[in-house]
Chains A and B, each alone.
Chain A
Amino acid sequence: MTEMTKSTIGRRQVLKGAGVVAAGTAALATPVKQAEAAKKVPRWAMVMDLRRCIGCSACTVACKAENNVSLGRFRTVIQHKMIGTFPNVTKVNLPLMCNHCTSNKEDASAKVPPCVKICPEYPGERQTYVTPEGKKIRYRGGATYRRPDGLILVDVEKCIGCGKCIDGCPYGVRSFDPFTKAGKKPEKQAVDKCDFCKHRIDNGVEPACVNTCQGRARIFGDLNDPESEVAKLVKEHNLEKSVLLPEEKTNPHVFYIDPDNLLKTAYRQREKGKLDHYVDTLDG
């Protein structure tokens, strides 16, 4: 994969290329600090603010359009859960998608999540990732693999459509894509899931779900940059453990701001082979 190879232009050029820097940059890090932070490889992450998610499903539909997601599956979805007894009732809306995990519970040293570890096509050919500053990092590709910036990605050309990663993911966020053939076994469907809108973030634009979120419940950014909003939120709200299924020790990179401690109650794990994990709008 060479998606980053075109990205070797320096930061100064990059900003020029963007055309505009917003007024009021005093609120941001100084350019020097930004440059220092950017020397590191980014580590993309998302913070979901449950206080702000109003369960409107705009993210779900934005993702459908952006990624041409077929009916019968979603890359991201909102789970709704009513909690309490009348009249003391509340409801939590839980945005759910690939957690872009880092680890594997059986073998933390593998530095890949269970979906990657289980992929028969992983580890595959060596690939090169180029940081914004031009630093090259080698990594292993596969039908599903981990890019050095933390994205867990699917390479449909290498996919054999075996579905092991679907079963291997404890969150049930992977599915077969009826629109795409598995590259190595065209009689089968390739696997698909959230890729943090790689095609947008590699071009400097936020993921589609973040773009449309009216509550600003989804915050995307670089966890390795201490000045980023995601890094600040993770620190401020102590979110390192505020993830789905922490007991799986998958080290997810989707964090939840959950002051009322509702995450565990609201989350409903997928029943294997069932779609209703994704579809629950009666209380919406």
Chain B
Amino acid sequence: MKSLNRRNFMSLSAASGAVLAAGAVDSRPALAGSVTFAKGGRDFSPVTGRERKAIPTACWQCVTRDSLIGFVEDGRLVKLEGHPESIRTNGVICAKGQAGVNQVYFPDRILHPLRRVGKRGEHKWKRISWDEALDEIAARLKPLRDAGTPEKFMFQYGRMKASQSKVMSDFMAAYGTKTIGNHTSICEGGKWTSQELMWGGHYDNWDFDKTDFVLIFGSNMLNTHTNHIPVAQKLIEAHVGRKVPVYVFDVRLTNTAAHADEWIPINVGKDGLVALSMVNVIMNEGLYKKDLFKFMKVSADRKASMDEKIAAVKEQVAKFTPEFAEKESMVPAGKIRDLARRFAKSKSGVVVSYRGTIAHQHGADQERAMMLLAAVTGNVNSPGGRCQGVGAGWKSPKSKHPKARALDINHGFPGQVAYPTHKVSNQVLKMIKDGRNGRPEVYMWACYNPVYVNGEVNENREIMMDESIMPFLVCSTIVYDESSSLADIIVPDVTYLERWDWEDMVSPTQVAEYYFRQPLIKPLGESRDFGDMCVGLAKRLGIELAWKDKEDFVRQSCEMTPGVKEAGGFEYMKKHGVWHDKNANPDYLAFETRIPASALEADGVIFDEASGVYWNWHESKAKTEAEAKTVGYQNTPKSYKGFVGQEVDGEVYRGFKPDAVNKSGFLEFYSELMKAKGMPVFPTYTPIPEHVEMAPDELHLTTYKVAVHTHSRTSHCKWLSEIYHDNPGWMNPKTAAERGLKDGDVIRVHNKLGGITTNVHVTEGIIPGVIAISYHVGREHSGRYGSGSPSPIPGVADDPDFNNKWWDKHGVHPNAIIASSPDEISGQQRWMDTVVRVEKA
């Protein structure tokens, strides 16, 4: 048992903190009717009063992946709570996390392997054994491998992270294919690419515990975010507990905007411009902080003096006056000036930006504008600022593998995207249809729903229905959905509450947390972890893996990961679920670290005069030192892998180390890489073409997420769909009046891709000229709680609670009228650029 010493815990729990270490549960009442309560870690049956078995594990409803305690009663999972000892979550979880129980027990869950017996889309299935399923899949995979074309086996995933991802990629590598697709471009890939061009890595954390001022652009982070629970609770504490000013720019009055000092309505796609105009004010009024300029590259001359750098930034943002920004964005110039001044004068400040900012054409450039605002005010990687995220660094076993081959269908069409560092998943089906770069003979997917989650849903369905271009489809899943319903073989995956994993999501404290997932119950039916399915395939294909099964993979990882190993490895993690280095200092200002001379003299390290980078050419694709020197750092493929340090003012620093592109060690705003691809060299404002061409009667269509659903994987969770199952379009009263619409009217929302019918929700909480429709719902197939009818597969279960289901609306899906269209810089799906007309239906 451990004593806890957590600020939040002490100040916020009922009185004090008596919490039991997970796995060490005392059978006596902790405190009976006294003033002191444990916050969590134990639970009891409300019927029998008996204590429930507590097992530490981790969530997977969304990518935040909070640590959990699962409570089990008579072999049944009954309750999930936050892990009280997690430094990431402080023991709380969200509504989706609480509804994880529904993922295990929803009545339409797929629990047996199925083979399609009718035509694709006819929904006719036969239950088969695992042996039959694996034999059949292996019979398709083996000839491809034997023929030297393993790349014709394509795997695509939605949510696979940490050990899930490692196990998958290890198996695929051992098989020999690198035709692996993801879903990142429909999520936040543009933000990541942008950050990789500037500060090297990707993923930002916001140091709310220490910050003094918060600006939020296009993010409802109090309700939904990729690191939701860890950061949201800290924002509330900063705002309410420490009275930190918070301002939210959004087209919609989100719950986050409603909790800010002020909601600042802003026109669609203008976030970057407003940030640039704030930089304009800060530069012109001399409010910038010089600290970071030393490490910033803001002009072609890497040796520019401080004064030259300041002058260069001033010049670049000169045209973005607050008055110009007001005209475009509707944010008053006076407001821009006021916030710019107050933000710059604060001791520290955070700039948050998300999909409202980045899911546009040149959204990646808007993210660069956000970073520029943070940088000129000295708020990058500093206490209270915008910091590079810190996650756990696990080690894991690796199998022997041949040189893998890939079909080039994961990075968009030739010339379509400048830097697809997180791939272009939104173009995969279109590329398969096109066929110019080849087509997979076997397409397998897991934890993904390509038909539903991308734009142009109808085209996606047509492509996957066509056996002449997608001959064999295999899906590992728990739910019968818009995509698995088109598979040839469905294999039943386990839920995240029935499997082993190690986990690594970013910690809000800038100290890494290592955490763990273990089965709370025996997997239902014949469900089998995707990793264990890979083992079954490997055996049939004669592939030797470095791990016996998923549990063994996780066990080996625990025994080889520094820190976790010394703490007690696998057995420690099973008992405690979380580990972090108690002596670790929060990671700030690492770019100021000097590189020792010895590192610069190592074999292969050369100096690149153009960029000022010391790099080891052995790590790159260069064949000789002479070639490396001639071609240079920027143009040698994979040179960034050999990055050693950045020369700045005669000293060599770690700088902002690249990890995806050949950038220098500066925080790059003047980007030679952008210039080389014909993209804006310095952050700028580029109007979105579709918006420039809009007719007066057209509206912007924006989409959003609500607190109680993930994009596509929770509509079958009854407790969530009971709260949110219908998604009428939000519309400002002025916009509604112009169309003769009143609240609740049935409307048709349409454009050249087609139309959808829904109701209008007339509300003051949205700007004029926009219709906002959430996704999550509008499911064709999602079982009885998500789409209204049981899944048409053999053996679905009964659920007495279904008699109590009272809602009969299941919403509409806006993706049918959103183009699958990537940002030309990053490949990010442009969710927010769609233009529609709306009429009374």
Contact = CB atoms under 8 A, between A and B. Distances in A.
Interface stretch (B73-81, B117-125, B128-136): B73-81
Interface string A48-80: 010110111110111011111011100000000
B71 to A, nearest CB: 9
B33 A60 contact: no
Given A70-B804, A211-B92, A14 B35 contact: no
B33 A219 contact: no
Contacts of A281: 706, 708, 723-724
Interface stretch (A103-111, A161-169, A225-233): A225-233
A87 B265 contact: yes
A30 to B, nearest CB: 12
B572 interface: no
Interface string A266-284: 0000000001000101111
Contacts of B26: 17-19
A283 to B, nearest CB: 6
A113 interface: no
A82 B14 contact: no
A204 B18 contact: yes
A70 B45 CA distance: 16
Interface in A1-29: 3-4, 6-7, 9, 11, 14-15, 17-25, 27-28
A220 B18 contact: no
Contact of A51 (B42, B240, B763): B240
Contacts of A131: 33
Interface stretch (B94-102, B180-188, B832-840): B94-102
B803 interface: yes
A52 B34 CA distance: 26
B33 A91 contact: no
A32 interface: no
Contacts of B3: 20-23
A132 B32 CA distance: 6
- Chain A interface size, under 10 / 10 to 19 / 20 to 34 / 35 or more: 35 or more
Given A20-B20, A56-B255, A65-B80, A86 B31 contact: no
A228 B233 contact: no
B538 interface: no
A123 B46 CA distance: 24
A219 to B, nearest CB: 6
- Chain B interface size, under 10 / 10 to 19 / 20 to 34 / 35 or more: 35 or more
B805 A17 contact: no
B31 A15 contact: yes
B222 interface: yes
A174 to B, nearest CB: 16
A202 interface: yes
Interface string B52-83: 00000000000000000000000000111110
A19 B1 contact: yes
B229 A279 contact: no
Contacts of A55: 223, 255, 707
B29 A71 contact: no
A28 B144 CA distance: 68
B32 A203 contact: yes
A34 interface: yes
B591 interface: no
Nearest to A226: B35
Nearest to B220: A54
Interface string B579-605: 000000000000000000000000000
Given A58-B93, A284-B707, A42 B35 contact: yes
A70 B37 contact: no
Given A58-B93, A132-B32, A283-B763, A203 B78 contact: no
Nearest to A284: B706
Given A22-B18, A66-B43, A52 B32 contact: no
B629 interface: no
A42 to B, nearest CB: 6
A18 B95 contact: no
A183 to B, nearest CB: 13
A114 interface: no
Interface stretch (B5-13, B359-367, B400-408, B443-451): B5-13
B783 interface: no
Nearest to B260: A90
A48 B45 CA distance: 25
Interface in A153-210: 178-179, 195, 197-206, 208, 210
Contact of B708 (A17, A27, A57, A149): A57
Given A56-B94, A284-B255, A219 B35 contact: no
Given A62-B98, A86-B265, A86-B767, A54 B222 contact: yes
A221 interface: yes
A58 B95 contact: yes
A128 B75 CA distance: 34
Contacts of B36: 15, 18, 34, 204
Nearest to A4: B33
B223 A206 contact: no
A6 B29 contact: yes
B324 interface: no
B18 A34 contact: no
Contact of A20 (B18, B34, B93): B18
Given A17-B31, A86-B734, A89-B253, 14 more contacts: A42-B34, A51-B259, A56-B94, A71-B722, A93-B258, A200-B43, A208-B43, A212-B94, A214-B92, A214-B233, A215-B236, A219-B14, A220-B37, A229-B13
Interface of B: 1-5, 8-21, 24, 26, 28-46, 49, 51, 78-82, 91-95, 97-99, 101, 222-223, 229, 232-233, 236-237, 240, 253, 255-256, 258-259, 263, 265, 706-708, 718-720, 722-724, 728, 732-734, 761, 763-768, 800-801, 803-806
14 contacts: A9-B29, A14-B34, A17-B28, A28-B15, A54-B236, A54-B707, A70-B801, A86-B734, A86-B764, A202-B32, A211-B39, A215-B222, A221-B37, A281-B724
- A-B residue pairs, 10 tightest by C-beta: A204-B31, A7-B32, A22-B17, A204-B30, A91-B258, A71-B804, A61-B98, A221-B14, A216-B12, A23-B5
